[in-house]
Amino acid sequence: MTHTTFPDRATMAELLAKMLWEIKAVHFNAEQPYKLASGMASPVYIDCRKLLSYPRVRSAVMDFAASVITRDAGFERFDCIAGGETAGIPFAALLADRLSLPMIYVRKKPKGHGRNAQIEGHMPEGSRVLVIEDLTTAGGSMFTLIDAIRAAGGIVDHGMALFYYGIFNEGALRFADGKVKLHHIATWRNVLAVAKEQKLFDEKTLSEVEAFLDAPLAWSGRNGGVSELSL
């Protein structure tokens, strides 16, 4: 793999944003906000799992993920790729294949029978593990995986999210406190930039989305959702 094979970071972010719009994996609706699991009201919604259903898109995105990791972390930095149940598992398999590395997956909780395993697959103690998720909001679900891997004797210094919300200070703090460097391809800012460029929505919708990205909890509070995030 050579560095000239792949586009620069800004181009990869823009291309992923365009792909997400093309396959209808992202949605804007300021009139009827989406209610997230956290209780937040949001004018934006994303389903990265749809990437799996489009082979050409999927292949390009995994090329981008491999490029980001090898450029920013290194070529021989990891012994294993880990995905989380359930959405992270296929992406971990695809990235492990790209990087010619073993793969494991982490259950949300130990399965409660047999060996009571939370980690499935072979992970020798001291393995340097890259955790990958399709999507990270503020890091909560990723750290569930990281904590389980560390408890089992793995070393986690890096995480990979194909898509990172990139709008919560709490997320940046969590990764800093947890001593994990987060790598990602695109954020909501990239998705908004493409929506503006392609004039996919009226000005009011675009400005409401921008207001949400600038101050998500304040926007949520004004639109019937929680105004504090419990992380």
Q: Residue 101's pLDDT is what?
A: 97
Q: Residue 115's pLDDT is what?
A: 53
Kindly calculate the radius of gyration of the chain based on its CA atoms and give it in whole angstroms: 18
Q: Residue 19's pLDDT is what?
A: 98
CATH of span 3-206:
3.40.50.2020
Q: Residue 3's pLDDT is what?
A: 45
Per-residue pLDDT tens listing for the chain (231 residues): 444 467 899 999 999 999 999 999 999 999 999 998 788 899 999 999 999 999 999 999 999 999 999 999 999 999 999 999 888 999 999 999 999 999 999 998 876 655 557 899 999 999 999 999 999 988 888 999 999 999 999 999 999 999 999 998 888 889 999 999 999 999 999 999 999 999 999 999 999 999 999 999 999 999 999 888 765
Phi/psi for 45 (5° steps) reads -145, 145
Tell me how far apart the alpha carbons of residues 224 and 231 are, in angstroms, rounded to a whole number: 19
Tell me how far apart the alpha carbons of residues 149 and 134 are, in angstroms, rounded to a whole number: 18
DSSP string, 90-133: HHHHHHHHHHT--EEEE-SS--SSTT--SEES---TT-EEEEEE
Q: Residue 26's pLDDT is what?
A: 97
Give this prediction's pTM. 0.91
Domain locations along the chain: 3-206
| Residue environment code for 64-100, b if the CB has 16+ CB neighbours within 10 A, otherwise e | bbbbbbbeebeeeebbbbbbbeebbbbbbbbbbebbe
Q: Residue 1's pLDDT is what?
A: 46
